[in-house]
Amino acid sequence: MVTSQTQSTPYNPFTEEHEMFRKSVRKFVENEITPCADEWEAAGIAPLHDIFKKMGDLGFLGLNYPEKYGGSEADIWFTVVLHEELAKAAIGGVPMAIAVHTDMCTPALAYHGSDYLKETYLAPSICGDMVGAIAVTEPDAGSDVARIRTRAVRDGDDYVINGSKMYITNGTQADWLCLLARTSDDDNYKGMSLIIVPTDTRGFNVSRKLKKLGQHSSDTAFLSFEDMRVPIKNRIGNEGKGFYYQMEQFQVERLIGAIGSYSGAEKAVRDTIAYTRDRKAFGKPLLANQWIQFKLGELLTEIEATKHMTYYCASLIESGAKSSEVTRIASMCKLKGGRLARQVADTCIQFYGGMGYMEETPISRYYRDSRLASIGGGADEIMLQIIAKLEGMHIE
């Protein structure tokens, strides 16, 4: 027998502390989110200020942000744990609302915002007093972010902002938006800035709360801005750098998207295993059919692979790896997660049969909610576009 001197250990980034944190988040999800899922889905909205306050008190909302603003300066694995556990709630909309707040509208503010901005918007968001939103997409520009039209024109100490934003998560409840707008006449990605917009500003309008296929508990809104005056000091970092900041912010968004995808998928498959073990047809449990075992086994294999690719992505971010490499892997994780969620939702609902098609069965909600993963935060094709470009396949 060959023995090795060096002991290699299975790759596991989680310490006892992470596992304690996992237990606490899991309990929070089981007691504070899942029991209200049906009510919030029916209402088409969730009370984000209440939920965020509870989470803020527990220190769940600023895991990776500076202690100076109430954050915990924790390593990235706590963020991974948070979103893995949130994804196990019997509802997609609320975890998405939380993720938008903790890791999609705040990174640029935390890393490039002024002290003033961080004190005014980041600190209250970390403690759960404010709800944030990210406003990039417009009616005429989604995948092609460089084509956005919302314009912020300097006038004295203010920007005067006109335009509109589409499909904005948390849009009807947010206290502030991280808004991507044009701040110069340049018609390309160089002319944009990220600006923090308080939603009580005159000229800010929630034009419509949008009805959706799924994610019913998430208030997605169409927002419009009419001569909305916002102080120039509300701009994050440098003028003209907004597109770059947003691309950087998208990396975290895509990592979190991937976590939600594989973790939600894992729950769906495990629920399906439990259901098909109980449900009998032709004198035996459905799960006794090798076809079902193999299909579910295959999905668990895919989930495990996606999970570890995503852990690799997290470790790249944690170690401060080169941005293009983080982008390459984050895009792959997001792509794979979205596709996997579609495959899992379709397979699982099939094995639930008619029961899976019923509103009362959580898998039907998962089927609707998870479909977003291949569209929101950059569609699959945009991930492929990025991958192709970073792999040197781009031809002008």
Query: Binding residues for another protein, per CB under 8 A?
Result: 15-17, 20-21, 23-24, 27-28, 57-60, 63, 72, 74, 78
Mapped onto helix, strand or coil, the DSSP state of residue 159 is: strand
Buried b (16+ CB within 10 A) or exposed e, 98-111: bbbbbbbbbbbbbb
Token readout for 218 is 């998430």
Does 339 help bind ligand FAD (rule: CB under 6 A)? no
Does 376 help bind ligand FAD (rule: CB under 6 A)? yes
* Residue that the structure tokens 């790896």 belong to: 321
How many angstroms separate the first and last alpha carbons of the chain? Answer: 57
Does 232 help bind ligand FAD (rule: CB under 6 A)? no
Asked about 359 being catalytic, the answer comes back as no
Mapped onto helix, strand or coil, the DSSP state of residue 130 is: coil
Task: Give the number of residues written for the chain.
Answer: 396
378 binding partner (options another protein, ligand FAD, none; Cβ < 5 to 8 Å by kind): ligand FAD
Minimum Å gap between C-beta 25 and ligand FAD is: 23
Cα–Cα distance, 260 to 95 (Å, whole number)? 8
Minimum Å gap between C-beta 64 and ligand FAD is: 20
CA atoms within 13 A on the CB side of 55: 32
Q: Which of 381, 388, 393, 394 binds ligand FAD (CB under 6 A)?
A: 381
Based on the number of CB atoms within 10 Å of its own CB, is 73 exposed (0-12), middle (13-18) or buried (19 or more)?
exposed
One-letter amino acid for residue 249 of the chain: Q
Does 18 help bind ligand FAD (rule: CB under 6 A)? no
Residue 73: DSSP 8-state: -
59 binding partner (options another protein, ligand FAD, none; Cβ < 5 to 8 Å by kind): another protein
Does 73 help bind ligand FAD (rule: CB under 6 A)? no
Q: Nearer to another protein by C-beta: 281 or 388?
A: 281
Does 197 help bind ligand FAD (rule: CB under 6 A)? no
Buried b (16+ CB within 10 A) or exposed e, 133-168: bbbbbbeebbeebeebebbbeeeeebbbbbbbbbbb
Q: Nearer to ligand FAD by C-beta: 168 or 286?
A: 168
User: By beta-carbon distance, which residue lies closest to ligand FAD?
Assistant: 142
Q: Nearer to another protein by C-beta: 81 or 161?
A: 81
Cα–Cα distance, 38 to 274 (Å, whole number)? 22
Q: Nearer to ligand FAD by C-beta: 232 or 379?
A: 379
Does 125 help bind ligand FAD (rule: CB under 6 A)? no
168 binding partner (options ligand FAD, another protein, none; Cβ < 5 to 8 Å by kind): ligand FAD
Minimum Å gap between C-beta 176 and another protein is: 23
Minimum Å gap between C-beta 58 and another protein is: 4
Q: Which of 89, 197, 223, 372 binds ligand FAD (CB under 6 A)?
A: 372
Q: Which helix (H) or strand (E) holds 37?
A: helix 37-43
Give the Cβ contact number of residue 323 at 10 Å.
Answer: 14
Does 350 help bind ligand FAD (rule: CB under 6 A)? no
Q: Nearer to ligand FAD by C-beta: 62 or 376?
A: 376
Does 375 help bind ligand FAD (rule: CB under 6 A)? yes
Cα–Cα distance, 35 to 89 (Å, whole number)? 9
* Residue that the structure tokens 């390309």 belong to: 188
Cα–Cα distances in angstroms (integers) from residue 148 to residues 21, 188, 202, in the given order: 40, 9, 22
Does 215 help bind ligand FAD (rule: CB under 6 A)? yes
Minimum Å gap between C-beta 285 and ligand FAD is: 37
| Region class of 156: left (phi > 0), else alpha (psi between -120 and 50), else beta | left
Q: Which of 253, 298, 302, 360 is catalytic?
A: 253
Residue 30: DSSP 8-state: I
238 binding partner (options another protein, ligand FAD, none; Cβ < 5 to 8 Å by kind): none
Q: Nearer to another protein by C-beta: 68 or 394?
A: 68
Q: Which of 25, 91, 109, 135 binds ligand FAD (CB under 6 A)?
A: 135
| Region class of 237: left (phi > 0), else alpha (psi between -120 and 50), else beta | left
Based on the number of CB atoms within 10 Å of its own CB, is 284 exposed (0-12), middle (13-18) or buried (19 or more)?
exposed
Of 67-75, 77-85, 107-115, 374-382, the window that binds ligand FAD (rule: CB under 6 A) is 374-382
Sites of contact with ligand FAD (CB under 6 A): 100, 133-137, 142-143, 167-169, 212, 215, 220, 372, 375-379, 381-382, 385
Residues noted as catalytic: 253
